[in-house]
Amino acid sequence: MAEVASTILVIDDSVDIHRLLKIRLRDQNVAISSSSSGQDGIERARELLPDLILLDIDMPGMSGFEVLAELKHDPLTVEIPVIFLSGSGGSTNKVKGFDLGAVDFVTKPFDIAELRARVRSALRTRKLVKMLAQRAQVDGLTGLWNRTHLDEQLVCQVSQARRHDTPLALIMSDVDKFKNLNDTHGHPFGDQVLQEVANILVEETRDSDISCRYGGEEFAVILPMTSLADAVTVAERCRQTLEAYVWASHDDLCVTASFGVTDLGTAEEPTAASVIKSADAALYAAKHGGRNRVVRADEEHSTRGDCSSSGGGGAASESPAQPHHGSSSAA
C-alpha cells in the first residue's frame, strides 16, 4: 500500500514561489495547498491541519511573525511545524522566528536540495512526534483514547464548533456498581467488563466520534456535528446494548451503565471545561435517579431499561455517586 502523502501549506504572497515549490517538491510525496496572505493562511491552517507549513516572513498586511504567533496560540494549530521562508538570512529574523516557535529557516532564493532535505526532516520529526503522542494517549486496557487525549480533543472540537457554528455533543458514562462487580467476580472480570464497554462505544458510534476512557469505570464520547437529541439516541443505544450483553462465564448477570449527555449550547459557557461539567452533572443525575438510564443536561428527562436478571448485576445497594469534576482514579 502506498504511503499517504503528507500535507504542506505554503503561505506566501508570491505566486511564483507557489509555482516553484509545487514543481520542486512534486516528487516528495506531498500534497501542497497554497495561501497568498497571512489571515487566509491562518484560516486554511485551521481547516486543513497540515503536516507542515512553509511561511513567508515578509508579506503585506500581516507578517509571517504575526501569523506564526497566532498559529501558536490556537490549540488547533499549535503543534503544526513551521519553516520560515525569507529573502533575508540575517540572524535577527532567525532568532525571532525560532523564539516564536519555528522549527527551521530557509533563505530565498532556495537551494532546492537543501529545501527538500529540510522539508523531509521536518515531516519525519512531525510523524515521529504524532506517533509518540498517540501511543502516550491510548489506554492500555481498553485500547480507547485516554483522558489526556479527551481533554486535548475537546478543546479543539469546541474551538472548531464555535468557529463554524456547528453542533457538538458529549456523552459521559459510568459502569453501575462496578466496585461490587470487582469484589464479587474478581478484577479480571472487571477488566473484561471495561473492555466490552469500550467495544460497545466504538461499535455504536461513528468513526468521526472520539471514544475515551475517562478514568476508572468512566467513559466519554465526543460527538462532533451532533445535536443533543441525536447524542441522547446514541447513548440510549449504547445503554441498551450493554444491558442486553450476555457474559459467557456469567450468563445470569446483567451489567449496566448510566449516561449523562450534554452539548455546547447547553453548557454554561462554550468551553471544554464547562461542557465536561455539564455532562458530569447529567451523569450524576442518572446515578442519583436509579442508574441504568440516560439523562440529558437540559431537562429532567431520562430513559431506563430494567434488568430482569440478578437485580441489576446482583450487586448490593450503594450510595449515589457524587459528581467528581476531575479525573477519576484508574481501575
Do 275 and 267 meet the contact criterion of CB atoms below 8 Å apart? yes
Give yes or no: 217 in active site.
Answer: yes
What pLDDT does residue 304 have? 56
Domain 147-313 CATH assignment equals 3.30.70.270 = yes
The 3-state DSSP class for residue 175 equals: strand
What pLDDT does residue 87 have? 82
pTM above 0.95, yes or no: no
Instruction: Tell which CATH architecture fits domain 6-136.
Output: 3-Layer(aba) Sandwich (3.40)
Instruction: Give the chain's mean pLDDT.
Output: 88
Q: Which one, of 252, 261, 248, lies nearest residue 195 by Cα?
A: 248
pLDDT at residue 221 is higher than 70: yes
pLDDT at residue 292 is higher than 70: yes
- 93/95 Cα distance (integer angstroms): 6
Mean pLDDT of 3-32: 90
Residues 174-192 pLDDT 10s: 999 999 999 999 999 999 9
Residues 247-264 pLDDT 10s: 987 878 999 999 999 999
**Percent of the chain, pLDDT > 70?**
89
Phi, psi at 169, each rounded to 5°: -125, 160
pLDDT at residue 58 is higher than 50: yes
Identified catalytic residue from 79, 152, 203, 217: 217
What pLDDT does residue 5 have? 82
- 223/168 Cα distance (integer angstroms): 6
With bands split at pLDDT 50, 70 and 90, how would you rate the model's confidence at 104? very high
- 163/157 Cα distance (integer angstroms): 10
Per residue, the 3-state secondary structure of 47-105, as one string, reads HHCCCEEEEECCCCCCCHHHHHHHHHCCCCCCCCCEEEEECCCCHHHHHHHHHHCCCEE
What pLDDT does residue 14 have? 93
Q: Which residue has the cell 532546492?
A: 112
- 13/22 Cα distance (integer angstroms): 15
- 71/82 Cα distance (integer angstroms): 9
Residues 119-147 pLDDT 10s: 999 999 999 988 888 888 999 999 999 99
Residue ranges of domains in the chain: 6-136, 147-313
